Structure 1
Amino acid sequence: MQGDPHVRRTAALGAAGTLVTGTLIAGAIAATPASAGQQHHRGTAEDRGVRIAAARAAETGIDWQTCPADWGLKAPIQCGYVTVPVDYAKPDGRTIKIAVDRIGNTGGKKERQGSLVYNPGGPGGSGMKFPTRVTGKNAVWAKTAKAYDFVGFDPRGVGHSAPISCADPQEFVKAPKADPVPDSEADKRAQRKLAKEYALGCKERSGALLPHMTTPNTARDLDVIRAALGEKKLNYLGVSYGTYLGAVYATLFPDHVRRMLVDSVTNPSRDKVWYENNLDQDLAFERRWSDWKKWVAQHDAAYHLGTTEAEVEAEWEQLRATAKKNPIGGVVGPAELTNFFQKAPYYDSAWASTAQVWSAYVQGDAKPLIQNAGPDLNDTAGNIASENSNAVYTAVECNDAKWPTSWRKWDRDNTRIHQKAPFMTWANAWMNLPCATWPAKQHTPVEVRTGKGLPNVLIVQSTRDAATPYEGAVELHKRFKGSRLITERDAGSHGVTSLVNPCINDRVDTYFLTGRTDSKDVTCAPHATPQPSKA
């Protein structure tokens, strides 16, 4: 439910109503290399399996090579693979290869503190662009880059790591889709049919890997990656859903964590994962959507979309009605509009560009809106990536937890939330509805909590985040004793640590470089408010 893949939510409307061997005898585990890390004893077959896989990975390491040309990762970034079991209860069974990449620390051997492994969210997001923060000379991360190799990876099922699929990519992106807001019971029945078909498509197209697409298994993969990197303990940066992955990892492997920073936090409570989290998200999106409309109204001189929030909302409703009656350019209907405009509640870096596209349309130029909101059927690679991301999102969230199977409950809850939060509620519901008829086993979520040996975790969160409401950070803070919470007040951009805000940036650097946190939680003023784009 989190991260950049979420920006493609309503692209799923056409398909879902809308984020693949070796041996080591068990007796050898006691003598595993130091880089396999502290043993974590919990007694299940999966626990034994991850210890075996990590020991193998520690011994094998990673064969770093120049990245394949079509991966878009240029030297000095290097790429490789880490082998993991499909099923950790059967470590000698089928395996898949997890794609990883890295760039070395910039400060030399004396400053190096190991690898910093990154996950951007999703589920379904690729972390493989993380090393480009160094090659792109990202000033916010320059100090941390002196001490750490920046390591990214494609989680299981994503990108170059045995990718799964639930629908034909070209069909998946076709537009226009049905309006996510239903007008009748017939509309709801049509969306329910699409959701069920999508769930079956996941089973048919993803095969034997589908049941093993879970957050705990991805966390186990992360521990194998740690071992393959030769690290005794993990340094980790997780954003959005990546915070939940980190929280599950820290629960399963508390004594394998060295430094962990989680940014824009998914509520880890069992009764929130994942159905309730998505309902909470709908309300948070509405709040941030309101923030953006107020900002647009404040800059009416630039955009001419209304001088009050109410006027901007009326303009939005007019745009939706126009697109519903006659899709703009033949491809941009209400679903595509929701998909495009949700970028503004997600990231205030998109406030100005989104408003500019809308303003151009109102002033008679529809081309920017069609280009930005409509599908590009010629972008084969991009469409495959988009469909894959949505497939992984669906598989992980549906597998992770037991979802309601009663349509009456879905209908009642989303009808109620829609009255308060009409911007995203039904689009979100249709995207997640495949979980109501999911063809694989649904599990009980991990009880996230502090374990023996877990060091201080640093939590960073803005108060008006749309994708991951602030309450999630508070909940994780309660569950991880000794953690510190940095709050960015009166801000709502999703993913805080890459924005320029010295109050946050300096503390992030201090944490990764020294392990130190403030003695108390900290509240920071917001980062700079966006300004209208200059023509």
Structure 2
Amino acid sequence: MPLSGPAGGRRHRAAALVAAAVCSTVLSCPGSGAAQDTPSPSAGTGIPRLDWRPCTPGSPYDCATARVPLDHSAPAGRTIDLAVIRRKATDGAHRIGTLFVNPGGPGGPGTVQVPQNYGSFPKELRERFDIISWDPRGIGNSTAVNCFDSTDAAQAWGRSKPAGFPVGEKERTAWTDAYDDLGRRCEKRDADLLRHVSTADTARDLDLLRQAVGESRLNYFGVSYGTILGATYANLFPGKVRAMVLDSNIAPSAWTNGGRADARTPTFLRMGSDRSAAATLDRFLDLCGSATTGRCAFSAGSPEATRAKFDQLMQRLRVHPVDMWTYARTVADTVNGLYIVDPGWADLARRLQDLWEGRVPKPAAVPPPPPVANPDPYLGDEQATAVWCGDSPNPRDPAAYQALEENSAKRAGDASRFWTWAGEPCATWPARAADGYAGPWNKPTAHPVLVVGTRYDPSTSYPDSQAMAKELANARLLTHDGYGHTALFNNASSCVKTYESRYFVDGTLPPPGTTCRPDKQPFS
């Protein structure tokens, strides 16, 4: 799912919090004191029992499995498993409590992505909170949506559709046929699970996990898709919110189509992902063109010349792909390559320059995952598709997407084609959420919510963060005048981290209208 992905990056200590060792009167501090295992609830309470064990011998991470109802309205019925992971607070003497994290998606496996990005969290949060994440229902190491009998079958299905998005009638037919086939496979495999992987179901799971670790109120950090999960929790359980940061937001009204089931526009176009990706690409090309080729390999010496060079490359690839690098694959790679600023933008520039010179790009080096249990679970397309198609309305006629693509391209260029077709799998998806949540979004929470929005984000637009702050009953917007997808994982700003740390520790919000900037500019 293109909403979010893991990344590393430098993070700096928030110096203003060095001496913060006691709780203020603004926020209560459930779980204060030395880090320890909370006794598991007794059988019959409905709260899952978490038997923590090291994920692997000597690992700093503990793993557990939580058993929860498939259907929260029928708790005595079928149950499913949730894979949960924990890293204890490093300063147990000044521990505040537990911080739950959703790393995005939908489809992001928290048991993999949070350990990969653990160093991105502000030092104060790592010191004073047990950091817990989990694979949401339907995803990864939890009871997962898996519609194939084997890895080979899943890979064969992936090869049956064009990379990136379809171009031309033949590819459009292959694309729509592939996702129609996927939906039929999934419905045949486990139709009940498909109807119970909604964001609201996961929010109810999160409340059970909160109780399982003995917290009276929730501390939560959600990025990308995790923001709509956080907003859902905040409105289902408004009295249980202690502190909540939502970074790189989806506007609730865009995700739910304002509560209307009949959608004429795909989710990502409602979110403005096409416009935001186009604006971010323009900034990438402008900054690249202002740099030397030593700093940005794709630079043509000026912003204007570099934008023209990119357009020429796209036109050339439409006619003459470089091996498997078609126009559509390159556009998709470009959009995804804009997520991570350092080193992602420099790596993207090198790939574009390779294509310009007719060479097959070398893949970027990917660091190995940390040593945790099962670091490479199955994460097929059907997992993200099951969540967002069950939750978020999209046009149900596959034939409508070509016209939607062309209309979007008039306002947002190449990137809009990628984002338009990202919603098409929902056209033939067989399931809708049995117990979803479509609002209202303005229930007063026990404490205010901190909303973080990045101006140049290729996925979740800055106006969506503005809308999130407005639609919630009590929220404060912190603007990150930077680039990339999520301020936490992909675009280091010690300013943002300082405000996040102060908020989680003692409830202090940034002043209204506060703007932060990244620590480092791209290609600088």
TM-score, normalised via structure 1 length: 0.79
Query: Structure 1 residue aligned with 2:81, among 80, 97, 104?
Result: 97
Change beyond 3 A, Cα 1:228–1:382: closer
Using the TM superposition, give the Cα deviation of residue 511 of structure 1 relative to its aligned residue in structure 2, in angstroms.
0.5
Flag the 1:178–1:496 CA change in 2: closer, same or farther, 3 A: closer
Displacement after TM superposition at 1:382 (Å): 9.2
Deviates more, 1:292-301 or 1:421-430: 421-430
The 8 Å contact of residues 401 and 442 in structure 1, kept in 2 or not, is answered as no
Match of 2:236 in 1: 252
Q: Which amino acid aligns with 1:177?
A: P
Which of the residues 160, 180, 188 maps onto 1:196?
180
State the match for 2:328 in structure 1: 335
Cα deviation for residue 411 of structure 1 reads 3.6
**2:430 corresponds to which residue?**
439
Matched to 1:141, the amino acid is: P
Question: Which segment drifts farther, 187-196 or 143-152?
Answer: 187-196
The structure in which a higher percent of residues are helix is 1
Q: 2: distance between equivalents of 1:172 and 1:284?
A: 31
1:526/1:396 Cα in 2 relative to 1: closer, same or farther (>3 Å)?
Answer: same
SS of alignment partner, residue 265 of structure 1:
coil
Task: For residue 65 of structure 2, give the secondary structure of its aligned residue in structure 1.
Answer: strand
Equivalent residue in structure 2 for 1:230, among 207, 214, 221: 214
Paired residue for 1:180, among 138, 155, 165?
A: 165
Assess if the C-alpha contact under 8 Å between 1:98 and 1:154 holds in 2: yes
* Deviation for aligned residue 1:166: 4.1
**Aligned-pair CA distance for 1:196:** 1.8
Q: What is the alpha-carbon distance in structure 1 between the residues aligned to residue 449 and residue 197 of structure 2? A: 26
Question: Is the 1:166–1:205 contact (alpha carbons within 8 Å) kept by the matching residues of 2?
Answer: yes
Deviations 1:379-400 (A, max 9, x none): xx9996442xx22211111111
Counterparts in 2 of 1:117-196, with a 5 A limit?
Answer: 117-129=100-112, 132=115, 137-138=119-120, 141-166=122-147, 168-174=153-159, 177=162, 180=165, 182-183=167-168, 185-196=169-180
Contact 1:504/1:524, CA 8 A, preserved across alignment: yes
Deviations 1:74-109 (A, max 9, x none): 612110011111111211111111000111111123
Describe how 1:368-447 pairs up with structure 2 within 5 A: 368=362, 385-387=378-380, 390-407=381-398, 409-441=400-432, 445-447=437-439
Question: Which residues of 2 match residues 10-409 of structure 1 at below 5 A?
Answer: 55-57=45-47, 61-68=49-56, 75-109=59-93, 111-129=94-112, 132=115, 137-138=119-120, 141-166=122-147, 168-174=153-159, 177=162, 180=165, 182-183=167-168, 185-269=169-253, 270-271=256-257, 275-279=265-269, 280-302=272-294, 303-320=297-314, 323-325=317-319, 327-329=321-323, 331-349=324-342, 350-363=344-357, 365-368=359-362, 385-387=378-380, 390-407=381-398, 409=400
Q: How does 1:499-518 map to 2 (within 5 A)?
A: 499-518=491-510
In 1, Cα distance between equivalents of 2:460 and 2:443 = 24
**For the Cα contact (< 8 Å) 1:6–1:122, is it kept in 2?**
no
Measure the CA separation in 2 of the matches of 1:180 and 1:127: 27
Distance 2:382 2:99 in 1: 27
Q: Distance in 2 between matches of 1:189 and 1:172?
A: 14
For 2:242 and 2:472, how far apart are their aligned partners in 1?
Answer: 14
Q: Conserved in 2, the CA contact under 8 Å of 1:234 and 1:256?
A: yes
Partners of 1:519 and 1:97 lie apart in 2 by: 42
In 2, are the aligned partners of 1:461 and 1:470 still within 8 Å (CA)?
Answer: yes
The answer to whether the Cα contact below 8 Å between 2:286 and 2:307 also exists between their aligned partners in 1 is no
Mapped partners of 1:169, 1:221: distance in 2: 28
The 1:409–1:323 alpha-carbon spacing in structure 2 relative to 1, beyond 3 Å, is: closer
| In structure 2, distance between residues paired with 1:400 and 1:342 | 24
Percent identity for Structure 1 against Structure 2: 28
* Aligned partner (choices 523, 526, 533) of residue 515 of structure 2: 523
Q: 1: CA distance between counterparts of 2:89 and 2:66?
A: 21
Q: 3-state SS of the aligned residue for 1:447?
A: coil
Task: Report the alpha carbon displacement of residue 479 of structure 1 after superposing the two structures with TM.
Answer: 2.2
Q: Give deviations 1:188-241, integer Å, cap 9, x for gaps.
A: 344332332222233234443111111100111111111111111111000000
Structural RMSD (CA):
3.2
1:363: Cα distance to partner? 4.7
Instruction: Tell me, in whole angstroms, the C-alpha distance in 1 between the residues paired with 2:191 and 2:433.
Output: 16
Q: Tell me which residue corresponds to 2:447.
A: 455
Cα deviation for residue 420 of structure 1 reads: 2.1
Q: Provide the residue aligned with 2:15 in structure 1.
A: none
Contact 1:85 1:92 in 2 (8 A): yes
Distance 1:502 1:299 in 2: 24
CA distance in 1, matches of 2:498, 2:44: 34
Q: How far apart, in 1, do the equivalents of 2:2 and 2:159 lie?
A: 23
Contact 1:267 1:277 survives alignment (8 Å)? no
1:354 is displaced (CA, Å) by: 1.2
How many Å separate the matches in 1 of 2:172 and 2:358?
34
The answer on whether the counterparts of 2:290 and 2:299 sit within 8 Å (CA) in structure 1 is no
Q: Which moved more, 1:149-158 or 1:196-205?
A: 196-205
**AA matched with 1:212:** H
For 1:315 and 1:295, how far apart are their aligned partners in 2? 14
TM-aligned CA deviation for residue 68 of structure 1: 5.0
Q: Which runs of 5+ in 2 are unaligned?
A: 8-29, 31-40, 367-373
Q: State the shift of 1:484 in Å.
A: 1.1
| Contact 2:162/2:171 (8 A) holds in 1 | no
Corresponding letter in the other structure for 1:123? P
Amino acid at match of 2:466: V
Contact 1:487 1:522 in 2 (8 A): yes
1:368 aligned counterpart, secondary structure: coil
Deviation of 1:475 after TM superposition, in Å, equals 1.4
User: Once structures 1 and 2 are overlaid, which stretch shifts more, 352-361 or 148-157?
Assistant: 352-361
Q: Secondary structure at the match of 1:454?
A: coil
Q: How far apart are 1:518 and its partner, in Å?
A: 3.2
Q: Structure 1's 192 and 114: CA in aligned 2 closer, same or farther, altered over 3 A? A: same
CA distance in 2, matches of 1:343, 1:453: 34
Compute the TM-score of the two structures, normalised by the length of structure 2. Answer: 0.80
* Distance in structure 1 (CA, Å) of the matches to 2:106 and 2:43: 23
